[in-house]
Copies of this chain bind each other. A is one copy, B any other.
Amino acid sequence: MDFKQNTSNQPLKIVSLGGFGRVTSNMFVYEYGPDILLVDCGMGFPTQDMLGVDLLIPDINYLKTKAGKIRGLVLTHGHEDHVGALAYILPQIKNVPVYASKLTAALVMDKLAEYENMPQKVNVLPTGQPLKLGEFTVESVHVSHSIPDATNLIIKTPVGTIYHGSDYKFDFTPVDGILPDVVRIAAAGAEGVQLLLSDCLGSERNGHTPSERTLEEMFDREISHCQGKVIVTTMSSNISRWQQAVDTAVRHGRRVAILGRSIDRNLSVSAKLGYFKIPKGAMLDAKQIRKLPPKNVCLLAAGSQGQAGSAMERLATGEHRDAQISVGDKVIFSSDYIPGTEGTTQSLIDALSKAGATVIYSNITDNLHVSGHGSKQDHLLMAALTRPKYLLPIGGTWRHMVQYAKVLGEMGYASDKILLPEQNQSIEVYPDRVKLGPVVEVRNVMVDGLGVGDVGNVVLRDRQLLAGEGIVVAVVEIDQSNPGQINKIDLISRGFVYAKEHSQLLIEAGNMVKQTVAKRKGRIDSEKFMRDMVADILERYFFEKTHRRPMILPVIAEV
């Protein structure tokens, strides 16, 4: 403990590389002296204005000069927003050992097998077995979530214990029978917790989040009364939900086929490790669906938000190779709307209804879905068990943080004990206090195709402009001997007006440019001047005629 004494004024620093106040892109840095511990490495989803962007990843710029300090990366569970950025980030932090629960490790290895230069293994960190990583001692604790084998972390540090309460709820009647380990959590509280980081995404909901088991009755009711095929859709990673659907379907004389590679992979990996139990003879090859009577078939279909190309979308449009929707079929959406995707989900429901299916979804039926995240009562229980001195809500946006602070305030926490950091602020943990620290540079790192970080604000602004109004390329031919005159001008448009029907508009615009330039009588003395002038004339002309502002790209060809 010499080291601790020597550095007693030195804080533990916590940085969120995906930014605080965010639901996805989870990745946290715990830094103390010469040691860094990383927790999670998740992807994020682009907002609507990030056109063409495939996904977001945490910004590891902060780690650039500190690679040698990283003692390990611990993953809390297997959801994409906690592990989905590994393929992009692991190559940049080579040789860092990765730890996770058994199922999480298997899911990650299965995924990383698609990429080159990935680590040979993810180490299994069993619960209850403390792991020393430099100055940190990390112990994982089992919690309930919407994927099996999810964990929180008890992190012992020289400045006190941090409880890393990544996504959790308290489900005391779980489908897999494994209780959240409230005894171990309470023991951590008894030993003393300096700071609780707590999932706050469900803080808008009163009471506690219901058990996954409460859906059993719904599945039973909906499946038992159906004479046609039953199609169930939810998040692909929701193993427990699939387990309930399969068990109920089998009980009612149905066999089960999987439509969607993401479900297939999740269930295969889970089944191998015993986290998903397949009743004997239950599974049906998709090619066999048409050979069984509809009342003996249940389909597990990916794409509950109507994602383009997903099994659900192809079923709705009648383009699925192995199955089609018929009158009498029933589709169960065992999922909530995801903000931003309500439009596509509802179009999907319309299309399925039109194809003749009875569609069961949250607007018309209750108890179709339970969240994997705790509600207010769960947050209170977590705080009561861990008895932390300070609280830091994570995994939610500002409104969730505010609601979390409100309910924990009612428990008796003063507002200066509840930290509400800015997106890029660091947290400093001292033995006697926790406070907001200095700002760290954390950007949005956008992935588009193979490019990581090469799409920035300039490219996005251009895409937004192109998306809204299209582009007009003006090819201007000038004579080397007389560069202030235009010999010829051709306008080519894309995404602006339908060129075949509106060629006259483009021809007139070209003439207008030629005439205006001619009036200048050759006093245009540089290509740049010519380009700017052409762009200016066209911008004004098109706005006057169409009230649109396409991007104008003048190209000067000297002859």
Contacts and interface: CB of A to CB of B under 8 A. Distances in A.
Interface of A: 21, 47-48, 51-52, 204-205, 337, 339-340, 342-343, 346, 349-351, 353-354, 359, 363-364, 397-399, 401-403, 448-451, 454-456, 458-460, 462-471, 473, 475, 477, 490, 492, 494-498, 501-502, 545-548, 551, 553, 555, 557-559
A402 B353 contact: yes
Nearest to A48: B343
Contacts of A498: 454-456, 458-459
A462 B494 contact: yes
B467 A52 contact: yes
Contacts of A455: 497-498
Contacts of A547: 449-451
Given A466-B495, A467-B466, A397 B346 contact: yes
B473 A555 contact: yes
A467 B52 CA distance: 6
A476 to B, nearest CB: 10
Nearest to A558: B559
A558 B487 CA distance: 12
Contacts of A399: 346, 349-350, 353, 359
B467 A398 contact: no
B497 A555 contact: no
Contacts of A467: 51-52, 463-464, 466-467
B475 A470 contact: no
A468 B51 contact: yes
B466 A494 contact: yes
Most central of A349, A403, A449 by chain B CB within 10 Å = A449
A349 B501 CA distance: 45
A338 to B, nearest CB: 9
B448 A548 contact: yes
B339 A343 contact: yes
Contacts of A48: 48, 343
B551 A494 contact: yes
A341 to B, nearest CB: 9
Contact of A468 (B52, B337, B465): B52
A28 to B, nearest CB: 21
A555 B475 contact: yes
Nearest to A475: B555
Given A450-B546, A458-B498, A462-B494, A470 B353 contact: no
Contact of A47 (B342, B343, B459, B546): B343
Most chain B CB inside 10 Å of its own CB: which residue of A48, A51, A403: A51
Give the residue among A52, A343, A401, A454 with the most B Cβ atoms within 10 A. Answer: A52
Contacts of A448: 546, 548
Contacts of A397: 346, 350
Contact of A546 (B451, B473, B545, B559): B451
B466 A471 contact: yes
Contacts of A398: 350-351, 353-354
A343 B343 contact: no
Contacts of A353: 398-399, 401-402
Q: Rank and list the top 7 A-B pairs by shortest CB-CB distance, nearest first.
A: A449-B547, A467-B467, A557-B557, A466-B466, A462-B495, A52-B468, A463-B495
Contacts of A555: 473, 475, 490, 492, 555
Contacts of A477: 557
A343 to B, nearest CB: 4
B454 A502 contact: yes
A74 to B, nearest CB: 29
24 contacts: A47-B343, A48-B48, A52-B468, A52-B548, A339-B342, A351-B398, A353-B398, A353-B399, A353-B401, A353-B402, A454-B501, A459-B470, A459-B495, A459-B496, A462-B470, A462-B494, A463-B467, A466-B467, A466-B494, A473-B555, A475-B475, A475-B557, A555-B555, A557-B557
A192 to B, nearest CB: 32
A459 B47 CA distance: 24
Given A473-B553, A559-B559, A497 B466 contact: no
B403 A364 contact: yes
B473 A548 contact: no
Contacts of A351: 398
A295 to B, nearest CB: 21
B451 A497 contact: yes
B204 A363 contact: yes
Contacts of A462: 470, 494-495
Contacts of A475: 475, 555, 557
A61 to B, nearest CB: 15
Contacts of A47: 343
Contact of A463 (B337, B342, B466, B492): B466
